[in-house]
Amino acid sequence: MELIYGIDIGGTFIKIGKFVSNNNMPVLIEKYEIKTIINNNPLKIINQICDFVNDNLKEDTLSGIGVCVPGPVLNGKVLGAQNILWEEVNLKEILQKKYPKIVITIANDANAALYGEWKYSNYKDVTSAVLITLGTGVGGGIVINNKLLQGENGSAGELGHIKIFPFNGRICTCGRSGCLETYVSATGIVREALEQKKGKLTTLNNYSKLTSKIIFDCAKEKDYVASSVVDNVAYFLAIGISNICDIIDPKLIIIGGGVSKAGDFLIDKVKKHFEKLVFYSIKKVEIKCAELYNDAGIYGCYYMINEELSNIK
Amino acid sequence: MELIYGIDIGGTFIKIGKFVSNNNMPVLIEKYEIKTIINNNPLKIINQICDFVNDNLKEDTLSGIGVCVPGPVLNGKVLGAQNILWEEVNLKEILQKKYPKIVITIANDANAALYGEWKYSNYKDVTSAVLITLGTGVGGGIVINNKLLQGENGSAGELGHIKIFPFNGRICTCGRSGCLETYVSATGIVREALEQKKGKLTTLNNYSKLTSKIIFDCAKEKDYVASSVVDNVAYFLAIGISNICDIIDPKLIIIGGGVSKAGDFLIDKVKKHFEKLVFYSIKKVEIKCAELYNDAGIYGCYYMINEELSNIK
């Protein structure tokens, strides 16, 4: 069996997918999560990965390891990843030394997730796609002309920091205000609910601690405050998406991250607003929900390894 | 002498530049303007161009004609150009039939202007650049990885229609509201001044009809209302630019169009706001004023012809 490991290093867990290929398509045969050791010595995490891989290989043949990290990556080098305390780490070089005979790829996690969600969807043949991840924060990845857009500072796709309010916007963790992230991330949705429910009779008052899931559930049950919150969130997200489309006019927009589990209940509202917001000549864009959710990163890592292996053959 | 014509078809005038090359650099030897014949038969304008070229050739050798038009272009075909009443016109094919032995290129006018301003500036070697034109409206062109970004609907770079106000924004000619164009175009600047000067003592009241040039001139003379108008315009423009940078992280932003004649007086204010608005990791972007103004289009047409000729040689 020819194995490919897809490894997604997160701030809480390292997700590891053990894949084999069937006609160039990924078959996930096993999935593991191990707790991330947060330490400013990057070798801690690297050793976690290598120990795991070595322990699990048995008689299988390993053909590639794809890794994605929560930070910008350039030519296999991680430029920094704040929430795992990494500064610059030449991750590709380190792993290649440990496994000299196999293919190693390193990617940013949002970019890997974009590959996972795009290449294993019905839209795999489109050449321009954008992933917006709605989680604790808002991130993104962009593909143009079939190529990941890195940007001059490795910072293309900072979609959470598009300004949608010019004045009196909410303060963002980035230090600025009015950022999209403060309105459509999981925390932004809770913020919107806390603002809207003040002094109102709503089932949201039954919860001592709100989450975006509770808010969507209450909206689905037609609670009027929760419905108004979700509609505002959909509108703000549609503004962000229409701005992206007015600038780069892509074919496909994928909404990922935990919030996207709201599914078509959210997407249908976003589309309704989007059609009224985007420039009239931009019509053919598809907006869809992510399907792989937290597995998108490991699938994207598989994709990148498989591509490299196909190029070698 | 080997001639290259650069021709910019505008709604009022057709600008024609007669170029020769000196070490692959353009030397503009003559420049003409002829009044555009607006007619839904595109042959009217095409014949204007051909008659002019034929009358002026004399014994010179013509090696290329580059044309730019105010509408989207795909593979030499103009998809439509409302303000000269054109629907789809296969301009390249028509011109190539008339001049079978020379190189013909067709481009969108903002894209041609981007080439002109970028390739004949000190930044000619950067591989990602954005042109924002501030005229009656706001247009734009984008280059990523050294390639013009067309977009899935030929509509990438609709920078005037980025929304910067989510609620109660100004109504735009596109039918939507809150578009950047309504705040930073020449007409947007006049709108801002008319709103701000109400009931105030200002030298702006001395003019029966305001223009953006008058407003900038009064601001330079430290009129407090005009200064406040210019500062708001700079802030709104900085929001638009920071949104573009958060998405595509380019190296160079060029501000063109009539409003850019305000020069560093405007750009310095834009930069000051921009630094506070853009995501922190995006630092190396250069923001500069256009230098070729209305000639950018014809220089861009020259550039595209010269590139094709270099590829042939």
Could you write out the DSSP letters of every residue in A102-131? SEEEEEEHHHHHHHHHHHTSTTTT-S-EEE
The per-residue pLDDT for A81 is 86
Cβ neighbourhood burial of B23 (10 Å; 0-12, 13-18, 19+): exposed
What are the backbone dihedrals phi and psi of residue B125, each rounded to the nearest 5 degrees, phi first?
-90, -5
Please tell me the distance from the alpha carbon of residue B41 to that of residue B87, in angstroms, as a whole number: 9
For the entire predicted model, the pTM comes to: 0.89
In three-state secondary structure terms, A187 is helix
Residue of chain A minimizing CA distance to B239: A163
Please tell me the distance from the alpha carbon of residue A104 to that of residue B187, in angstroms, as a whole number: 55
Residue B40 reports pLDDT greater than 90:
no
- Smallest CA-to-CA distance from A136 within A190, A70, A186, A192 is with A186
How does pLDDT run across A41-82, given as a tens digit for each residue? 999 999 999 999 998 877 778 999 999 998 888 889 998 888
Check A235 against B166: CB less than 8 A apart. yes
What's CA A108's distance to the chain center, in Å? 10
| Strand runs labelled E in B162-295 | 252-256, 286-289
Say whether residue B46 is in contact with chain A using an 8 A CB cutoff.
Answer: no
Q: Which residues of A touch B283 (CB under 8 A)?
A: 153
How does pLDDT run across A164-188, given as a tens digit for each residue? 999 999 999 888 999 999 999 999 9
Residue of chain A minimizing CA distance to B130: A247
Residue B292 reports pLDDT greater than 80:
yes
Q: Please tell me which of the candidates A175, A239, A248 has its beta carbon nearest to residue B247.
A: A248
- Whether the CB-CB separation of B103 and B308 falls below 8 Å is answered with yes
Check A284 against B153: CB less than 8 A apart. yes
What are the backbone dihedrals phi and psi of residue A21, each rounded to the nearest 5 degrees, phi first?
-100, 140
Residue of chain A minimizing CA distance to B233: A166
The ipTM (two decimal places) reads: 0.89
Instruction: For residue B108, list its beta bridge partners.
Output: B69
Residues of chain A falling short of pLDDT 50:
none
Q: Which residues of B touch A282 (CB under 8 A)?
A: 151-153, 155, 158
Position of tokens 């924060």?
A137
Strand-strand pairing, B77-78 and B103-108: unpaired
In three-state secondary structure terms, B101 is coil
Q: Which residues of A touch B155 (CB under 8 A)?
A: 246, 249, 279, 281-282
Q: Which residues of A touch B149 (CB under 8 A)?
A: 144, 248-249
The per-residue pLDDT for B83 is 78
Cβ neighbourhood burial of A12 (10 Å; 0-12, 13-18, 19+): exposed
User: What's the mean per-residue pLDDT of chain B?
Assistant: 93
How does pLDDT run across B65-85, given as a tens digit for each residue? 999 998 888 889 998 888 799
- Smallest CA-to-CA distance from A185 within A114, A119, A133 is with A133
Q: Report in angstroms the alpha-carbon separations of B142 from B147, B148, B158.
A: 8, 6, 10
- Whether the CB-CB separation of A24 and A306 falls below 8 Å is answered with yes
Say whether residue B151 is in contact with chain A using an 8 A CB cutoff.
Answer: yes
Say whether residue A199 is in contact with chain B using an 8 A CB cutoff.
Answer: no
Q: Please tell me which of the candidates A145, A156, A236 has its beta carbon nearest to residue B249.
A: A156
Residue B48 reports pLDDT greater than 90:
yes
In three-state secondary structure terms, A181 is helix
